[in-house]
Amino acid sequence: MRTTDWLLLLLLSVLWGATFFFVAIALQDLPPLTLVLARVALAAFILAPIARMLALSWPADLATWRAYAMLAIFNNIIPFGLIFYGQTRIASALASVLNATTPLFTLIVARIFAGEALTSAKICGVLLGILGVGVLMGPDALSASANSTIGILCVLGAALSYGLATLWMRRLAEVPPLISAETQLVCSTFMLLPLAALVDRFWELPVPGVTAIAAVLGLAVFSTALAYIVFFRINATAGPTNVMLVTLLIPVTATGLGALVLGERLSLNQIVGALVIASALLVIDGRLLGWLTRRRATEA
Q: For position 166, what pLDDT does the model report?
A: 87
Q: DSSP assignment, residue 208?
A: P
Q: For position 276, what pLDDT does the model report?
A: 81
Q: What is the dihedral of CA 292, 293, 298, 300, to 10 degrees?
A: 110
Q: What's the rounded Cα separation, in Å, for the pair 65 and 183? A: 8
pLDDT digits (tens, 9 = 90+) for 179-237: 999 999 999 999 999 999 998 899 899 999 999 999 999 999 999 999 999 999 998 88
Q: Which are the contacts of 5, defined by CB distance < 8 A and separation ≥ 6?
A: 234, 237, 238, 242
Angle 10-21-49 from CA coordinates, rounded to 5°: 70
Q: What are phi and psi of 145, to 5 degrees?
A: -85, 170
Q: For position 300, what pLDDT does the model report?
A: 54
Q: What is the dihedral of CA 230, 39, 105, 287, to 10 degrees?
A: 20
Mapping DSSP onto H, E and C, the string for 253-280 reads: HHHHHHHHHCCCCCCHHHHHHHHHHHHH
DSSP string, 118-160: --HHHHHHHHHHHHHHHHHH-HHHH---GGGHHHHHHHHHHHH
Closest CA to 80 of 44, 32, 27: 32
Q: For position 212, what pLDDT does the model report?
A: 92
Q: Rounded to two decimals, what is the model's pTM?
A: 0.81
Whether 164 contacts 244, CB under 8 Å: no
Q: For position 44, what pLDDT does the model report?
A: 93
Q: What's the rounded Cα separation, in Å, for the pair 73 and 80? A: 10
Whether 222 contacts 15, CB under 8 Å: yes
* Side-chain-facing half-sphere of 209: CA atoms under 13 Å: 7
Q: For position 219, what pLDDT does the model report?
A: 93
Q: For the chain, which ranges sit under pLDDT 50?
A: none
Closest CA to 107 of 94, 93, 121: 121
Q: Which are the contacts of 34, defined by CB distance < 8 A and separation ≥ 6?
A: 196, 200, 202, 205
Cα–Cα distances (Å) from 196 to 65, 113, 171, 193, 199, in that order, read 22, 31, 29, 5, 5
Q: For position 283, what pLDDT does the model report?
A: 77
- Position 66, amino acid: R
Q: For position 294, what pLDDT does the model report?
A: 56
